[in-house]
Chain A
Amino acid sequence: MDLSATGDILLSGILRGGLFVLIAMGLSLVFGVMNIPNFAHGEFYMLGAYFSYYAYAVFGLNPILAIMAAGAGGFVCGAIMERTAFRSLRVRQKTNWVMNSFLLTVGLSIVLQNSAQALVGTKFMGISQYWQGSVAIMGMNVSIDRLAGFGVAMATVLLFWIFLTKTKTGNSIRAVSEDESGAMLVGINLNRVYTLTFSIACMLAGIAGAALLSINPAYPTMGLAPLYKSWFIVILVGMGNVGGTIIGGFIVGMVEALSYYNLGAGWQDVISLLVIIIILLFKPSGLFGKDVKGVWER
């Protein structure tokens, strides 16, 4: 492997990884705070792609505004889902929450996919690019579009992280994920935190879908691939560990770039799954998880 190839892999791994982080974070947050294994997460990515397509290509908004509109759209859709579907489930069902909420998300995923198909059809709705041109980095031509997508992802992750760790509302979300009784006892209204958490997770997915629009055009079932990828990452770092997804996203991005370069397209999922299986053999609770013992430690 020569130097330029290494740079190539590194760069494309980082660019991929950044967006994986953005998608996986919301999934991890929803699991950590609400205990919902969300299999409809990809559908919010899909919604984000459609929102930004309409905002940018149809209404002619500027790219940043279009991406922000997609985030806002994701937030609102997330809030509606949480208030209607998950809150009703929470009122009715106290036992078997994880299983029931999982089934609910699968149902939601199907409903959202088919609604998209019914409303806008199955044709690809994409754009060639938000921004024109390319720059040379380490001897490689990278389109400004990809860099900007990465920049948007990193800025969002950073802002979200600051929100989570430095603001009172962000801390209340972390408190609920740490100890629900403790959170209630200090005066935190759980329902409000749940709605906010779910909305933010959907907003992050929506922004990711929008930022990647020039690479992945919008279509109804586009959420499946990012859903699986996010699950890889969340399982890899440990369920519900939001901070860990930052590292996990880049690891998976890097593994994919490596397998893409060395084995060709189509192998990236095989290799990243293999890596994850091997890691889980030794650390079944994920890289940063606790509590579960590895096969060799029993």
Chain B
Amino acid sequence: MLELKNVSAGYGPLQILWGISLKVDTGEFVSLVGPNGVGKTTCLKTIAGMIKITEGEILFNGIDISNMYVPDITKQGLSFVTEGGCLFAGMTVHENLRLGAYILKDKKQIAELEGFVFSLFPRLAEREKQLAGTLSGGERKMLSIARGLMSAPKILLVDEPSLGLAPNLVDDVFDTLVTLNKEQGLTIFLVEQNVHTTLEITDRTYVIEQGRICLQGKSGDLLNNDHVKSCYLGLT
């Protein structure tokens, strides 16, 4: 479904990604983990079209989306939930969700999707008329994931959904992602700091260090990998 071939990208003269190659197949739950500042967010932004790539190509369902305009990539069926959420703070939860479905025309489908995300996050349903900017951190995370789902995407890119959440909410968010993947068959590409849980819930994982993929494989296998154990799981 999504394939990066030898992708390099960065901010102006500052190169961050050095020949990244990775693949996410339909229905898979894949994650990207690594230390702080190695380019995980940059990688997601590059896929979503927010950063120009300098080398390589990105294929999405066989279509070359490298350096395509962000809204056009969204229209292809890719949805990117950023770390901060990029919510419309001065607008209500309902308006945010409707805008999430901006690329859809079918009114009935949009209403159904809204019903679906409300069943996923009942707290949002209670706060339908509340301004996004006045939501709590956890509710904002829920809203950003919910908004990302409103475009009925083929793939969901999620950047650190657990950041800044209380432990029980972290579990909720992970449960939701697993449900979406297992029950709805949604393809998910997840970036996370919470390496242990991530390796437990995902199918495959890529480890990125200094802008390069240094390890990859089945998440279960990586749990027993020595490098992963010592650097990410704090085990020796």
Interface residues as binary, B130-163 with A (CB distance below 8 Å gives 1, 0 otherwise) = 0000000000000000010011000000000000
Q: In the bound complex, how far is the Cα of B79 from the Cα of A179, in angstroms?
A: 16
Q: In the bound complex, how far is the Cα of B71 from the Cα of A4, in angstroms?
A: 58
Interface residues as binary, A241-265 with B (CB distance below 8 Å gives 1, 0 otherwise) = 0000000000000000000000000
**Cβ A185 vs Cβ B74 within 8 A:** yes
Tell yes or no: A137 within 8 A of B by CB. Answer: no
Residues on A with C-beta less than 8 A from B71 are 184, 186-190
Tell yes or no: A172 within 8 A of B by CB. Answer: yes
Residues on A with C-beta less than 8 A from B14 are none
Within 8 A of B (CB), among A170-192: 171-172, 174-175, 178-179, 181-190
B contact residues, total (Cβ < 8 Å) = 26
Q: In the bound complex, how far is the Cα of B151 from the Cα of A184, in angstroms?
A: 13
Partner of B102, one of A174, A178, A179, A186: A186
Given contacts A179-B88, A186-B147, A186-B151, contact A171 B99 (CB under 8 A): yes
A: interface residue count bin: 10 to 19
**Cβ A179 vs Cβ B99 within 8 A:** no
- How many residue pairs between the two chains, A and B, have CB atoms under 8 Å in the bound complex? 66
Within 8 A of A (CB), among B46-79: 48, 50, 69-71, 74-75, 79
Residues on B with C-beta less than 8 A from A171 are 91, 95, 98-99
Tell yes or no: B235 within 8 A of A by CB. Answer: no
**Cβ B91 vs Cβ A175 within 8 A:** yes
**Cβ A186 vs Cβ B99 within 8 A:** yes
Q: For residue B41, give the distance in angstroms from its CB to the closest CB of chain A.
A: 12
Residues on A with C-beta less than 8 A from B48 are 185
Tell yes or no: B187 within 8 A of A by CB. Answer: no
**Cβ A187 vs Cβ B103 within 8 A:** yes
Residues on A with C-beta less than 8 A from B74 are 184-187
Residues on A with C-beta less than 8 A from B95 are 171, 174
**Cβ B99 vs Cβ A175 within 8 A:** yes
Partner of B100, one of A174, A179, A181, A186: A186
**Cβ B151 vs Cβ A179 within 8 A:** no
Tell yes or no: A168 within 8 A of B by CB. Answer: yes
**Cβ B86 vs Cβ A181 within 8 A:** yes
Within 8 A of B (CB), among A67-89: none
Q: In the bound complex, how far is the Cα of B99 from the Cα of A171, in angstroms?
A: 7
Partner of A182, one of B69, B87, B98, B151: B87
Partner of A187, one of B89, B98, B151: B151
Partner of A179, one of B50, B69, B75, B87: B87
Q: In the bound complex, how far is the Cα of B219 from the Cα of A260, in angstroms?
A: 76
* Residue of A181, A185, A189 with most partner-chain B CB within 10 A: A185
**Cβ A184 vs Cβ B70 within 8 A:** yes
CB closest chain-B residue, reference A174: B91
Q: For residue A52, give the distance in angstroms from its CB to the closest CB of chain B.
A: 34
Given contacts A168-B102, A171-B98, contact A185 B88 (CB under 8 A): no
Residues on B with C-beta less than 8 A from A178 are 87-91
Residues on B with C-beta less than 8 A from A175 are 88, 91, 99
Q: For residue B221, give the distance in angstroms from its CB to the closest CB of chain A.
A: 33
Q: For residue A263, give the distance in angstroms from its CB to the closest CB of chain B.
A: 39
Partner of B82, one of A181, A188, A190: A181
Q: For residue A237, give the distance in angstroms from its CB to the closest CB of chain B.
A: 14
Tell yes or no: B206 within 8 A of A by CB. Answer: no
Q: In the bound complex, how far is the Cα of B151 from the Cα of A175, in angstroms?
A: 16
A-B contact pairs, 28 of them (CB 8 A): A168-B98, A168-B102, A171-B98, A172-B102, A175-B99, A178-B87, A178-B88, A179-B89, A181-B82, A182-B85, A182-B87, A182-B88, A183-B88, A184-B70, A184-B74, A185-B74, A185-B79, A185-B80, A186-B71, A186-B99, A186-B102, A186-B103, A186-B147, A187-B74, A187-B151, A188-B71, A188-B99, A190-B71
Report A's interface with B, CB cutoff 8 A: 168, 171-172, 174-175, 178-179, 181-190
